[in-house]
């Protein structure tokens, strides 16, 4: 593999550099636009110094390394970057040797978590453009393994260049969501991508083209094949985003919510409780937008307020232990198929019952009846 760099002029007369990568065994070369800091307007100071230090060390050791994905997208759309993902030409074992506080994770495609204090940064090796996701590849191949064009921009914080193989820069400016993977397989290959596409559109006010909309609605039921742990991971990201109301409303309009969190679909279509639950979501978003404390105990207080209060009002129980044994299974049932932290749910119940309680044991739960919160006819 070798590189050459040439220049050309866009139709508007703006100068660009084009990086052409010739891949060994490839039938065609793949070109990438390189945007300078004067064009992309991204300041490297918006990224954590720890992330920059990781990239600096990788590059000093002779490897390629970039910030990629959501962090770049968020900055370009005027948001503060959250999770910073790093990609590199270094293989996991090579990354591990460079960072003492790190560990290799993953069974099929291995990643490295590089730790800095209580947090960590995910460092991934370029993936090959093949069906075998275990293979490592090049930067030009890695881009074709991304989901949407806006998540496939690679930023070098030291040269301050932004590498764009698939016109993701223009798609972000046009505020449109476009898939990289063929539409026929992008969602069947990973149904969680449907949630992400709709979430991006709701949070950033982006446009989803009609063919993608139709495909999402047609394949919404594929979400039932996703593990509870992956759905829970996406769910927690949503309630921490400050845009949960927009997201869940959008999921409902795309027929995703009934397969994602069925009880949310039911309560939003229940005339007796929908307004109260909508207010809970809006209150949660307002709290997230105005507070630094995003512990799950507090988030669950906002999210589950209506459900817990309904359960408490129907329990008719005076004993603290009986209250918890009655309400906890109801809330768990409401959140199915998600598997969320038990302690956070219990603390939310304690907050509304006004009676702090020790953690409920599995033995006590097995003895307790599991009442189902039924919808009251409107």
Per-residue confidence (pLDDT) for residue 211, from 0 to 100: 96
Q: Say which of 85, 164, 171, 280 is annotated catalytic.
A: 85
Q: Domain check: are 303 and 168 in the same one?
A: no
Separation of first and last alpha carbons in the chain: 67
Signed CA dihedral, 308, 313, 319, 325: sign only: negative
pLDDT of residue 355: 54
The total number of structural domains that make up the chain: 2
Q: Within a domain: residue 272?
A: no
One of 74, 142, 147, 285 is an active-site residue; which one?
Answer: 147
147 is catalytic: yes
Active site residue 48: no
In a 10 Å sphere around its CB, with 0-12 CB exposed, 13-18 middle and 19+ buried, how is residue 290 labelled? exposed
Residue at which a domain ends, from 180, 196, 219:
180
Tens-place pLDDT, residues 156-167: 999 999 999 999
| CB contact set of 275 (below 8 Å; sequence gap of 6+) | none
* C-alpha span between 10 and 18 (Å, rounded): 11
Phi-psi region of 201 (alpha: psi -120 to 50; beta: other; left: phi over 0): alpha
**Considering the domain boundaries, does residue 232 fall inside one?**
no
Instruction: Give the span between the Cα atoms of 18 and 8, in whole angstroms.
Output: 7
pTM: 0.82
CA distances from 5 to 27, 31, 87, 209 (A): 19, 10, 22, 34
Quick one: pLDDT at residue 3? 41
Cα–Cα distance measured from residue 77 to residue 354, given in angstroms and rounded to the nearest whole number: 42
Residues in the chain: 378
- Segment 20-47, tens digit of pLDDT: 444 443 445 678 899 999 999 999 999 9
Whether 83 is catalytic: yes
- CB count in 10 Å sphere of residue 149: 23
Q: Is residue 252 a part of any domain in this protein?
A: no
The low-confidence residues of the chain, meaning pLDDT below 70, are 1-29, 131-133, 315-322, 355-378
The pLDDT of residue 92: 95
Q: Write out the residue range of the structural domain in which residue 336 sits.
A: 282-367
pLDDT on residue 316:
62
72 belongs to a structural domain? yes
Cβ contact 46:82 at 8 Å? no
Q: Does 292 lie in the same domain as 172?
A: no
Residues 6+ apart with CB under 8 A from 193: 147, 186, 187
* b/e map 330-343, b = 16+ CB within 10 Å: bbbebbeebebeee
Is 263 among the domain residues?
no
CATH number at residue 81: 3.30.460.10
User: Does the residue 60 lie in any domain?
Assistant: yes
| Domain presence at residue 50 | yes
User: Could you tell me if 169 and 288 lie in one domain?
Assistant: no
Give the residue from 145, 170, 165, 144 showing the smallest Cα distance to 154.
165
Question: Where does a domain end: 180, 201, 233?
Answer: 180
The residue behind tokens 């506080």 is: 101
Residue 111 — φ and ψ, nearest 5°?
Answer: -120, 170
> Among residues 180, 212, 241, which one ends one of the domains?
180
Nearest-angstrom CA–CA distance, 127 and 171? 23
Q: Does any domain span residue 108?
A: yes
Considering the candidates 48, 53, 74, 83, report the single residue annotated as catalytic: 83
pLDDT, residue 55, reads 97
């Amino acid at each position: 593999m070798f590189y050459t760099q040439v220049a050309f002029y866009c139709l508007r007369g703006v100068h660009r550099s084009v990086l052409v990568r010739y891949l060994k065994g490839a039938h065609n070369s793949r070109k990438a636009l390189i945007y300078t800091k004067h064009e992309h307007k991204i300041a490297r100071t918006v990224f954590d110094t720890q992330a920059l230090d990781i990239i600096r060390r990788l590059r000093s050791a002779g490897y390629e390394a970039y910030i990629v994905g959501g962090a770049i997208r968020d900055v370009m759309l005027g948001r503060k970057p959250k999770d910073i993902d790093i990609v590199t030409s270094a293989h996991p074992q090579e990354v591990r040797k460079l960072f003492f506080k790190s560990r290799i994770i993953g069974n099929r495609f291995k990643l490295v978590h590089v730790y800095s204090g209580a947090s960590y940064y995910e460092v991934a090796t370029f993936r090959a453009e093949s069906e075998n996701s275990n293979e490592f590849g090049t930067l030009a191949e890695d881009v074709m393994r991304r989901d949407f064009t806006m998540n496939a921009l690679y930023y070098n914080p030291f040269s301050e260049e932004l590498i764009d193989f698939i016109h993701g820069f223009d798609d972000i400016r046009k505020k449109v969501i476009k898939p990289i993977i063929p539409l026929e397989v992008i969602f069947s290959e990973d149904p969680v991508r449907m949630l992400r596409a709709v979430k991006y559109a709701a949070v950033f006010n982006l446009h989803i083209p009609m063919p993608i909309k139709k495909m999402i609605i047609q394949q919404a039921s594929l979400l039932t094949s996703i593990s509870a742990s992956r759905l829970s991971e996406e769910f927690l990201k949503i309630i921490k985003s400050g845009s949960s109301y927009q997201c869940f409303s959008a999921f409902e309009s795309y027929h995703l919510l009934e397969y994602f969190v069925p009880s949310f679909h039911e309560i939003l279509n229940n005339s007796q409780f929908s307004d109260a639950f909508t207010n809970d979501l809006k209150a949660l978003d307002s709290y997230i937008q105005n507070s630094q404390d995003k512990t799950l105990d507090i988030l669950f207080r906002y999210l589950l307020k209506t459900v817990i209060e309904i359960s408490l009002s129907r329990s008719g129980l005076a004993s603290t232990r009986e209250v918890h044994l009655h309400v906890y299974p109801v809330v768990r049932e409401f959140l199915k198929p998600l598997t969320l932290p038990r302690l956070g749910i219990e603390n939310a119940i304690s907050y509304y019952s006004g009676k702090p309680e020790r953690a409920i044991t599995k033995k006590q739960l097995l003895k307790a009846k599991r009442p189902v919160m039924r919808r009251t006819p409107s």
